Structures are given as structure tokens and as C-alpha cells.
Amino acid sequence: MGIGFTNMKTFEVVSIMDSALVAVPVAVMRMYEFKRDLSVLPDDIWTKSDPPTVFKIKPLSVDWESVALAGDASSIRAIVREHVVDVLRGKSAKHHDFQWDRGKMNEETIAKLPIAICAELARIIIEAQTRVPGGEIPFSPMREPTYLTDRDNSKTMTRLARVVSALTEETAAEKTD
């Protein structure tokens, strides 16, 4: 195996926390998490009324390597601000909620992004630097994928709502008898 050089080719990703991916099967999400290739995702998510947000990112530049090692919240946001070059709604439409200042996300916009999404994007930006053309090294999986947590929470809340509804109906029936 030869030495891989720093990758500087921009590419597109969708956060695994994006609400448009809720109905995507877990096996597909796991594959996407490893490859970060949009073609893995089902075609129907792009035709929804609320398509996923696509972040166009460039891999970590050498100038920002020391910042990447810090790992604190302000460093994470700085890496994202510097390396996200465009944000799309779906595959082609500009996302108008993101504002830019001299080619970078402005401070107000970056402050609106949840730190969990920034941390995910920063991890991808850092790992993308080592991707060599034709390389098959997977991206690191998240320790606790948010999409699994959200789905489990959603199932629990749905069951809780059913139980509360049934108890409410039972109580109402008892009062009318």
C-alpha cells in the first residue's frame, strides 16, 4: 500500500440527525454512516416536501489541523465555519436559512446550528482529509447514532401516547356510567 496524500476534494454530506432521514431503514443509515455517499440514501427522500439539508464541505486544510486537535466547542464551530462551503436544500436548491460572509458562514448562522450537528460535521471534515481517491477506509461510526436514539424515543413516546389515550377513554367511560 502506498502513502496517501491529503485529500482536498469537496464533497456533499447530510447529517445523520436530519429529520428527512427518519424513515430510512437502519441498515441503510448504517451504510451511509460508513460511506458518507449520498447515493446510498433512498431516492424518495429527495422528492419530499422537506428534503434533507446537504452540506458541501472541503476536507480539513493543513492550516486548521492545530484547531482540530483542540476539540472544544469554539474550535468545532470554527472548523465547520471554515470548511462548509455551501448548504443546499435537497440536491440543488440553495438553503436560504444559511447566511454567508466573505465565503464563510456568518457568526449568526453558525451559532444557530446545534453543537451536535457541528460536531458530526467537524468529525467528517477531519476524517475526510485522509480519504485518498479509490480508498476504501470507512468513516468512523458514531458511538451512539442519533438516528437510533431518536427512533427509540419516538417509539416510546408513541406507546406512551396510546396508553394515556386509553386511560383517558377508560376514565371518561367510568364517569358516564
User: How does pLDDT run along the chain (177 residues), one tens digit per residue?
Assistant: 345 566 678 889 999 989 899 888 888 988 898 888 899 999 999 998 889 999 999 988 888 888 888 878 999 999 999 999 999 998 888 888 888 888 889 889 999 999 999 999 999 998 888 766 555 566 766 655 666 666 666 666 677 777 777 777 766 566 665
d(Cα 93, Cα 104) in Å, to the nearest integer? 18
| Cβ-based neighbours of 116, under 8 Å, separated by 6 or more | 17, 146
Tell me the C-alpha to C-alpha distance, in Å, between residue 45 and each of 11, 24, 176: 19, 8, 47
| Cβ-based neighbours of 24, under 8 Å, separated by 6 or more | 32, 41, 42, 45, 147
What interhelical angle do 115-128 and 73-83 show, nearest 10?
60
CA atoms within 13 A on the CB side of 125: 30
Rounded to whole angstroms, the maximal C-alpha distance in the chain is 81
- pTM exceeds cut of 0.95: no
Strand order in the sheet with 93-94: 11-14, 53-57, 84-89, 93-94
Collapse the DSSP code of 4 into the 3-class scheme (helix H, G, I; strand E, B; otherwise coil) and give the result.
coil
Identify any residues that bridge with 14 across adjacent strands, giving them in sequence order. 54
Q: What does the pLDDT read at residue 1?
A: 39
Q: What does the pLDDT read at residue 177?
A: 58
Nearest to 151 by CA among 15, 26, 35, 38: 26
Region of 67 (left: φ > 0; alpha: ψ -120 to 50; beta: rest) is alpha
Q: What does the pLDDT read at residue 10?
A: 87
Q: What does the pLDDT read at residue 82?
A: 92
Q: Could you tell me the residue ranges of all domains in the chain? A: 11-141, 144-177
